[in-house]
Structure 1
Amino acid sequence: MYELRGVTKRYTRGKETVHALDGVDLTIADGDRLVIQGPTGGGKSTLLQMLGGLDRPTSGEVVLDGTDLARLSETRLTTVRSENIGFVFQSFNLIPTLTAQENVETALVPLGVKVRERRERAAEALRSVGLGERLGHLPSEMSGGQQQRVAIARALVKQPKVLLADEPTGNLDEGMRDEIMDVLDTLWKERGLTFIMVTHDSAIARKAPRLATIRKGRLTLTEKAAP
């Protein structure tokens, strides 16, 4: 479970102080699916970075399973990210000289997983996103949607508790967007993930059971009644 208490993030831009987050309070239970939406520069990606331990608040607490990420050393924070949090980004971030399977394996190297097990787990992760026949393909030999599937497999191969996605469909057309969202939704349900996603796409936001809207660093939460 996440507990955010009074999370503030300030940046100095010249003589101006920018409040990217301004006293954000938020609870995210295990297994939740939360979509974060708002205008450009409103604080969406900053909030996701706080949840992933990629940035630290100026003040406040970002507590994951009883541990305040803001107070951890960089070494311990790296370990928490490696073991518990999977990331998916808009730009895929695949290594162009590695095959799909090798790209997925990179997530297991920091965990000390041995070579044979890495290969087996990477192959299984790719099969789970529908790429079982693409293990040996380079990113340049795959479509944008297939590359994003590789990125999703890489995020999930380490079996994290939390999946954070920053505009994962931003570089895809509408048809491919729907395919990727189907993959993410299926994996969320099957694996019991805590799934938190930033998007500009209103069609995706409308389907979210919980929607956090951030404007000028302030958060408003909307919860939909169960069908």
Structure 2
Amino acid sequence: MYQLREVTKQYRRGKDTVRALAGVDLDLDDGERLVVQGPTGGGKSTLLQLLGGLDRPSAGSVSLDGTDFARLGEAKLTRLRRDSIGFVFQSFNLIPTLTAQENVETALVPLGTKTAERRERAAAALASVGLGERGKHLPSELSGGQQQRVAIARALVKAPKVLLADEPTGNLDETTRDEIMDLLEGLWAEQKFTFVMVTHDSALARRAPRLITLRKGRIADEKTAKPV
């Protein structure tokens, strides 16, 4: 379970101080699916970075299962990210010189997974996203939607407790967007990970069981609804 208490994040921009988050309180249960939306500069990506342990708050606390990220040294925080959190980004972030199979395997290397098991798990992860026959293809030989499927497989191959997705459909056309969202929702329902997604897309936001809107670094609105 995530617990955020009075989370503030400030950045220096030249002589100015920019407050990206301003006293955010948030509880997120295990296995919950949350979508975060709001205007540019509202704090969405900053919130996701804090949930992922990629940054630390200026004030307040971010805890996962009772572990306050601020109390962890960098090595322990890196291990927590490695073991428990998967990330999916708008830009896919695939290594262009590696095949789809090899890209997925990269998530297992830091875990010390043996080669045979690594290959087996990566192949199974690709199959779970509908790319079981494309493992030997380079990213340049795949469409944008297929590249994002590889990125999703890479994020989930280690069976993380949490999946964080920052505009995962932002570079895709409407049809492919819906296919990727259907895939993510299906994997979430099947694997029961906690799923937090940032999006500008109102059509995707309306599909969420829980939706918060960030404005000027604060939670301005929250809705709970049945998925479409």
Counterpart of 1:164, as a letter, is L
2:165 matched to which residue of 1? 165
Question: Aligned partners of 1:224, 1:38: CA distance in 2, in Å?
Answer: 16
Question: How far apart are 1:223 and its partner, in Å?
Answer: 2.9
Q: Which amino acid aligns with 2:192?
A: G
SS of equivalent to 1:57: coil
Matched residue type, 1:189: A
Quick check: 1:2–1:62 contact (8 Å CA) kept in 2? yes
Superposed, 1:135-154 pairs within 5 Å as: 135-154=135-154
- Normalised to the residue count of structure 1, the TM-score between the two structures is 0.98
Q: Count residues with an aligned counterpart.
A: 227
What does residue 115 of structure 1 align with? Answer: 115
The answer (yes or no) to whether the contact 1:53–1:70 under 8 Å persists in 2 is no
**Post-superposition offset of 1:185:** 0.2
Give secondary structure in 2 for the equivalent of 1:50: helix
Q: Distance in 1 between matches of 2:19 and 2:142?
A: 40
Shift of 1:15: 2.2
Q: CA deviation at 1:209?
A: 1.2
Report % sequence identity.
75
Letter in 2 for 1:62: V
Alignment partner, residue 89 of structure 1? 89
What stretches of structure 2 of length at least 5 have no aligned partner?
A: none
Runs of 4+ deviating beyond 2 Å:
223-227
Distance in 1 separating the partners of 2:221 and 2:79:
30
CA distance in 1, matches of 2:135, 2:217: 42
1:24-43 matches, within 5 Å, as: 24-43=24-43
SS of 1:107 mapped into structure 2? coil
Residue matched to 2:22: 22
For residues 165-189 of structure 1, the C-alpha deviation after alignment (integer angstroms, 9 at most, x for no partner) is: 0000000000000000011000000
Q: Which amino acid aligns with 1:110?
A: P
Q: Distance in 1 between matches of 2:80 and 2:216?
A: 29
Query: Distance in 2 between the 1:91 and 1:31 partners?
Result: 25
2:36 and 2:197 in contact (8 A); partners too: yes
Letter in 2 for 1:60: G
Q: Are the aligned partners of 2:10 and 2:58 in contact in 1 as well (CA < 8 Å)? A: yes
The aligned counterpart of 1:203 is 203
RMSD: 1.0
Hey, what does 1:130 align to over in structure 2? Answer: 130
Taking a change above 3 Å as real, the CA distance of residues 221 and 160 of structure 1, as seen in their structure-2 partners, is farther
Q: CA deviation at 1:13?
A: 1.3
**In structure 2, distance between residues paired with 1:40 and 1:109:** 35
CA offsets, 1:168-227, max 9 Å, x none? 000000000000001100000000010000000000011111111111101134232458
Kept in 1: contact 2:199–2:205 (CA 8 A): yes
Q: Is the 8 A contact 1:36 1:212 kept in 2?
A: yes
What SS is found at the alignment partner of 2:6? strand
For residues 100-128 of structure 1, the C-alpha deviation after alignment (integer angstroms, 9 at most, x for no partner) is 00000000000000000000000000000
Matched residues in 2 for 1:86 and 1:166: separation? 11
For structure 1, the 5+ residue unaligned runs are: none
Q: Is the 8 A contact 2:33 2:196 kept in 1?
A: yes
Q: CA deviation at 1:17?
A: 1.2
TM superposition shift of 1:70: 1.9
- Counterpart residue identity of residue 128, structure 1: S
Deviates more, 1:202-211 or 1:86-95: 202-211
Q: State whether residues 169 and 180 of structure 1, in contact with CA within 8 Å, keep that contact through their aligned partners in structure 2.
A: yes
TM-score of the pair, normalised by structure 2: 0.98
